Structure 1
C-alpha cells in the first residue's frame, strides 16, 4: 500500500458544497417542468416563478418579422399591453443592446431583460420589483436566458410564438423563406453576423445561410430568379443544396458545382440563382469567396466603406458555369462585410431612376458613422434604404452584415 502524502490527504478532505441555493431552486423548478410544459403554459409558469422573488407585472415581448416592434405574448398571469417600438422604448433598448434596462417608477422598478437564445435576440422579458439589487439582476438575467431557450425550443412545434410576432398577413412564399432561415443574429467573441429581409411578409426569392464550424464561418446569400412561390421553391432548393454540400465537407468550388447541378436538374436551363458564398477563418481572418453572378459585397473598415470586395466571378447557379476560381484575402480586425441582393440597387423610384450602387454606398457610410453594433446597424440601414427608395420595395431586398473580430473564445470554457 502506497504512502498518502499530506497534500493528497488534505485534498481528500475538501468538501464540495452541493446544497441547493434559492436561485438554483427557482431555476431548477422551472427547468424540471419545462421539458413537458405545453408551449402556451410557459408564460404562466414564468409569471408564477417570478412572483416567488417578489416580481409582478410580467410581460414577454417577441420581435416582429420587420424588426420594428416588440409584440406582447398573451397568457394567464402575463401583463399584456401595446406593442413596443424597438427604436423608442426601454424594451427596445434592452433588445438592441442586449442589456438590462431599469426604469424607476411609482411603486418600484420596471426591469427589461433581453431574451437571448445563444446570441440571437428573441425578445424582451419585463418585470416589476419593489427594490432591485445585484442578486435580483443576476437571477432574472439567468431566468430570461432560460425563457428564451424555452421559447425557441418549443417554437418548433407550435404556432403560438409565430402568430404573436406577426403584424400583417404573410404570403406562402414568405412562410417558406422564414422557415428556411437561420437565426437573424449570431455573435461569438471572434465574429458576429446579422441579417434582415424585406419585404418581411412578402419575401420570396432571397435567402441567406451561415454556419460556424470550429474556426470556419460559412456564409451564403442567394437570390432566386422571379417572384412569388416559384422563386421561394427554387431558393429552398438552392439553400438545401448549399447545406448538403457544405456538410459533406467539399470545397467552395465543389459547393458551387453541386448547387449548379441541383438547380439545373430541377428547374431547367432557363432558371437560375445568383449566389455569394464565403468561408472565413474566424481566428486568422483569412477569407475565401466564390461569386456566382451576385452583387459584390461591400468591405467596411473603421466604419468607412472601402469599396466592393471584388474577385473572379462565374455564371449564376443553374447555368452550368465552369469550375470557379476562388478569390482570397485577409481581413483586419473590426472589418465588416455587407452582402446584399440586387433588389437594393435595382429598385426604381417614381421618376424611373435606378437607386444604384453609389447611393447605396453613401447611405451605408452615413449609417456606419453611428458606430452601432451589427444588429442595430442592419436595422438602421434597412430603414434608411427603404426611406431613400420612397418606401418602395417591389423586389426582395436582403442584407447580411458580418463583422470579424478575431482572437479566441477559449476563455469561455474556464469557470471561476
Structure 2
C-alpha cells in the first residue's frame, strides 16, 4: 500500500531542500568544503536527508554555485517570512528565568507537537539534561558526544542515534550556534519538523544571549554540585569548539565538577588568532584563583596589541603579585598566522605543544625552555618558536594531568596509540577519543585537571 504525502509532508520536503541548499551556499561563502556531514549539520537535517534530495555532493555543489552566482537583491515583496522566534522581542518581553519554558511553548505551538522538551548539554559533556518542557521526557540521557557543553558537527548523527535509542518516536532539533550544538528541542508527534528545526536554531541564539543575565541556564547544565574552584574554572573557559581564520580548535578540561587549576583560551583579533593555555600547580580554590589572575593578565595584554612574549611577561608579573611559594604554573601563548599556516608561540614550564603528524606519530616541540611562571626570573629576551602546520597535521596541548605524572590516566604509549588511531581525524574527533580514554582509565574521579586542546588547519567544520 502506497503512503499518501500530506500537505505538511510536502512543506517539510520543500523546507529541507531549501535548508540544504542554503547550508551549502553558506559553507562555500565561508570557504569550507561542503561535505555531506557539514551540510547536514548546518541545515539541521540528517545526512540521509541530504542524499534524498541530491544523489551526489557534486550535484549539490553545482546547484549551490549556480544559485549563488545568480542571486540578486530580492524586492521586499519576495522577502522570506519572519523567523518563528523574534529574538530581540522575545528577550525584551520574557525574563531570562522563564525563557526555556517560553521557547518550549512556542516550539510546541509552531510545530503542532503533542509535547516538547528542551535539553541542554551538561558541562561535563556526557549527558543531555532536561531544562524545560514536558515531564513525559526523561530528566537526563547519557550522550557522550560533547566537548564540555557543546556537541561538534560530526556528533549530529550520533546524537540522533543516541536519543532515538531511548525515544524512538521523537523529532530531534539541535540548537546550533556558530557551528556547534549546545542542546536540542525534542518533540513528540511534531506536525512540522522543518519549522521545529528552524525554531531550534533561533532558540540556541536566544539562550546564549540571555545566559549572562540569569543562573537558570547555567544551573540547567549542571547535574551535581560543583566546587568554588570548578565554577571559577568554568568562567575562565571559552567556547570549546571554534572556527578561527584558517584554524579549527577543540578543547576541554576534565573533570568539570572539581579541581579548577587549568584553562585554555582563544580569540581572533586583527593581528591573528590567539591561543593560550595554563596548567597551574595544585588544585582547589588557590589554583583556580592563580589561573584566573593569569587569564586576566593575558587578556589585558592582548587587548592593547601586545605580542605573545609581552603576554607571558604580564602573566608572570601578575602571578608574582599574589605571592606564595606554591603559586606557579606552566603557560603557552601563541598566535596563528593563517595565510602561511604558521603557529608562533612562547612556552613556559612544561606546557609544550605536541605535533601529531599524518601518520599519528607524536613529537614534542620543545625548541626553547623557559621556567615556570612565578619561579625563576624570565630572561630579558624571550625566544619565540614557530612551526608551519601542514593540512594533515595536528597540534596538541596536554596538561600533565593527561599524561606525564605518576597517577595520570594515560601512559605515553596509550597516548601514542590514540594519536595513531585518530590520524586524519578532526580536532573534535581527536578530543573525543582522548577524553573517552581518560574517562575509561580514571572514571569521573581524577587527581588532577586533564586539559586537552587540539588544533588543525581549517579544511571543514570543527
TM-score category of the 2 structures, normalised to the smaller one: 0.7 to 0.9
Gaps of 5+ in 2: 1-72
Question: 1:54 is matched with which residue?
Answer: 112
Q: What is the SS of the residue equivalent to 1:74?
A: strand
Pick from 452, 455, 459: which aligns with 1:399?
A: 452
1:45 aligns with 2:102: yes
Query: In 2 relative to 1, CA 173–96 (structure 1 residues): closer, same or farther, beyond 3 Å?
Result: farther
Q: How far apart, in 2, do the equivalents of 1:141 and 1:79 lie?
A: 21
8 Å Cα contact 1:64/1:71 also seen in 2: yes
Shift of the 374–126 alpha-carbon distance from structure 1 to 2, 3 Å rule, reads: farther
Kindly tell me the number of residue pairs found equivalent between the two proteins. Answer: 379
Name 1:252's counterpart in structure 2.
Answer: 308
Q: CA deviation at 1:258?
A: 1.1
- CA deviation vs aligned residue, 1:160-208 (integer Å, no higher than 9, x gap): 1222211222111101110121111112573221112112111221111
Distance 1:130 1:222 in 2: 46
Q: 1:259 deviation in Å? A: 1.0
Deviation at 1:374, TM superposition (A): 2.7
> Is 233-242 or 389-398 further displaced after alignment?
389-398
Which of residues 310, 320, 330 in structure 1 aligns to 2:388? 330
**Aligned match of 1:114:** 174
C-alpha offsets along residues 381-416 of structure 1, whole Å, 9 cap, x if unaligned? 112024235765211111111121269xxxxxxxxx
1:59, distance to aligned residue in structure 2 (A): 1.7
Map of 1:377 onto structure 2:
430
In the alignment, which residue of structure 1 is the partner of 2:132? Answer: 74
Question: Following TM superposition, by how much is the alpha carbon of 1:297 offset from its aligned partner in structure 2, in angstroms?
Answer: 2.1
Q: Secondary structure at the match of 2:132?
A: coil
Match of 1:65, SS state, is coil
Give 1:32's aligned residue.
89
Aligned position for 1:193: 249
SS in 2 for 1:112: strand
Cα 1:389–1:40, aligned 2, differ >3 Å: closer, same or farther?
closer
Residue 337 of structure 2 corresponds to residue 281 of structure 1: yes
Tell me the CA shift for residue 278 of structure 1: 1.3
* Other-structure match for 2:283: 227
2:69 matches 1:16: no
The equivalent of 2:440 in structure 1 is: 387
Larger gyration radius, structure 1 or structure 2? 1
In 2, distance between residues paired with 1:195 and 1:111?
Answer: 29
SS in 1 for 2:310: helix
In structure 2, C-alpha distance between the alignment counterparts of 1:250 and 1:372, rounded to whole Å = 33
Aligned to 1:298, which of 334, 354, 365? Answer: 354
1:372, CA displacement in angstroms? 4.7
- 2-structure distance, mates of 1:122, 1:15: 33
Q: Would you say the 8 A contact 1:284–1:406 is kept in 2?
A: no
Deviation (angstroms), 1:94: 8.7
Cα deviation, 1:272-300, whole Å, max 9, x if unaligned, reads: 11101111123321110111012322212
Residue of structure 1 equivalent to 2:414: 359
Contact 1:209 1:219 in 2 (8 A): yes
- Say if 1:296 and 1:308, in contact at 8 Å, map to a contact too: yes
Normalization by structure 1: what TM-score?
A: 0.81
The alpha-carbon deviation at position 214 of structure 1 amounts to: 4.2
Pairwise CA RMSD of aligned residues? 3.2
Is the CA contact 2:84–2:198 (under 8 Å) kept in the aligned structure 1? no
Q: Relative to 1, partners in 2 of residues 1:362 and 1:390: Cα closer, same or farther, differing over 3 Å? A: farther
**1:167 alignment counterpart:** 223
Shift of 1:96: 5.3
Q: CA 1:79 to 1:359, structure 2 compared with 1: closer, same or farther past 3 Å?
A: same
TM-score using structure 2 length: 0.73
